[in-house]
Amino acid sequence: MSKSYACAICTKRVGPKERRKLKTDGNKQLIKYLRKHMLLTDEVTDKDVVHNSCRLKYTAESAAARLSASPKKNPQHGPSDKKSPFQLNIKSAGFSHTICPICNRKGARSEGFVTIPGEAIMQLFINKNILLKKNSRCCNTHMSGGKFTPETLSADIQGKIRSTTYMEPEQISSLINSLRQSATQRQKSCIDFDDPSTMTDADYWNLTGLTKDQFSTLIGDVDDIRTTKTRSIRTCIAVLLVKLRTSLGNALLSTLFNMTIAQIRRALKSSRKSLMKSFVPKNMGFKHVSREEIRTTHTRPLAQELFAASDQNKSIIVLDGT
């Protein structure tokens, strides 16, 4: 018959797998703790054993007791955690990747949702005092050229807005640097097409020959121009339109847009290629309109009577070389 062993702590029978010797170098603090709390009164021998679960339980209790007895550090004088977030009285939004923070519509990336770039986040913060969470998503109809459209900025935000936001020190530093960069660009630039609120419809018409809404519609057809630190998509297209409208030299354009002559030259080349690829085929030339549309929509009754003998099936094209 095998010998039975009783636990020195709970006095229950200890199985072979749970059996641990009590008199070992690693259990000196445990024995001291058990004697202090009157859980162990007899002298410990080599034959005394404990449950492994009992040993772990009282080891954890002794560690917790030592931690509570140690003096607490004064948070005013002790070192603070650099990664602990701070609560700021700044409105925040954009907490879900499936709900648009602008119009509160539910959707996904496959349903017309796009990731809001950092430049647009800063744009909304400056105009609305609402800070969107990094990598927030919204409907693609609210964006144009990597920024929010004028209609989006003028309308009320329908999504959920919190009165505070939590930011880590690195995020606060990045926010301040972005604000400084935006302020510096506005001080240096004579005209600003990136923020539609800085210029009126008359300013847009005088510089580009387009109204503000027409300019935004044109930007919506451009998708292959890369945004850089010196210029955005809106600025790149504006350089070409101002060039065509005013016939100014590249040196004067560089002064107006706060860009070097080489940057102006590259902007003109990029915008021309992009418009020839995306805008011109859809709006100019014989391929952008069908014969039926010319006959029914673009032919006046007088021209039909003079040139087609009132034949409704004939299309009339006038080529003027003057």
pLDDT classification of 236: cutoffs 50, 70, 90? very high
For 44-87, how does the pLDDT look when each residue is reduced to its tens digit (9 = 90+)? 777 777 767 777 777 676 666 666 655 554 544 444 455 677 88
Show the tokens assigned to 315: 């299309």
Place of tokens 């930007």: 219
pLDDT at 79: 47
For residue 265, pLDDT over 90 is answered with: yes
For 104-117, how does the pLDDT look when each residue is reduced to its tens digit (9 = 90+)? 888 766 678 888 98
Share of the chain above pLDDT 90, in %: 13
Average pLDDT of the residues in 280-290: 78
pLDDT at 109: 65
pLDDT at 78: 46
pLDDT classification of 122: cutoffs 50, 70, 90? confident
**DSSP assignment of 257-302:** HT--HHHHHHHHHHHHHHHHHHTHHHHSSGGGS-HHHHHHHS--HH
How deeply is 309 buried, as exposed, middle or buried, from its count of CB atoms within 10 A (0-12, 13-18, 19+)? exposed
pLDDT at 66: 62
For residue 156, pLDDT over 50 is answered with: yes
pLDDT at 310: 66
Contact 87, 166 (CB under 8 A): yes
How far is it, in rounded angstroms, from Cα 2 to Cα 13?
A: 12
What amino acid is encoded at 206 in this protein? N
How far is it, in rounded angstroms, from Cα 176 to Cα 18?
A: 59
How deeply is 44 buried, as exposed, middle or buried, from its count of CB atoms within 10 A (0-12, 13-18, 19+)? middle
The overall average pLDDT reported for the chain is 79
Average pLDDT of the residues in 2-18: 73
> Comparing 182 with 232, which gets the higher pLDDT?
232
Q: How many CA atoms lie within 13 A of 192 on its CB side?
A: 14
pLDDT at 189: 59
pLDDT at 77: 47
